[in-house]
Amino acid sequence: MSKNRVSRRQFLSYTLTGVGGFMAAGMLMPMVRFAIDPVLQSHGGGDFVQTELKVTDITEEPVKVDFSFEQVDAWYKSDVTSVAWVYKSGDQIIALSPVCTHLGCMVDWGADSAHPDQFFCPCHAGRYEKNGKNIAGTPPTRPLDEYDIQEKDGYLMIGPTKANTLS
């Protein structure tokens, strides 16, 4: 007989430790996976969103372009619709954010009959030139933001906003 016989007490101790460890791993693994899930997500497709506006249809007159994308905020996904004011200046395509830099209302092109060639914010009568530059004497203190843009298969793609580079 071997001297290394496992006693009944040791056998039970090993068995319970093994089963307990297995059960603990079974409970902890989903928690760990849940905690690091956003890190494991793939972010294919880039930050640009395709619009339904053909590049050849863009003129020098600003038009309002709606676009939608899926926004992921940690574990919460939602569909967001956003807007850009798009026009052509020479060969350059410009896409401006509609968000007034005063307090965040939406600006409109040509909505003020006294200033038909400007963006107008109805909340506090803020005004901006066509390139987004804020007009002195009105509430906004900085220009409208600008979107990064790309062209894909003849359609306009809209990317993240950046500080206005035109004014």
Instruction: Decide if residue 133 touches ligand FES (CB under 6 A).
Output: no
Q: Which residue is nearest to ligand FES (CB)?
A: 126
- Among 83, 105, 111, 135, the residue binding ligand FES under the rule CB under 6 A is 105
Instruction: Decide if residue 28 touches ligand FES (CB under 6 A).
Output: no
**94 phi, psi to nearest 5 deg:** -115, 135
**25 phi, psi to nearest 5 deg:** -65, -40
Q: How far is the CB of 34 from ligand FES (least distance, A)?
A: 40
- Among 53, 65, 96, 121, the residue binding ligand FES under the rule CB under 6 A is 121
Query: Judged by CB, which is closer to ligand FES: 24, or 103?
Result: 103
- 78: its two tokens: 């939602």
Strands (E), 74-154: 76-89, 92-96, 108-109, 119-121, 126-128, 146-152
| Helix/strand/coil for 34 | helix
Residue ranges that bind ligand FES, judged by CB under 6 A: 100, 102-103, 105, 121, 123-124, 126, 139-140
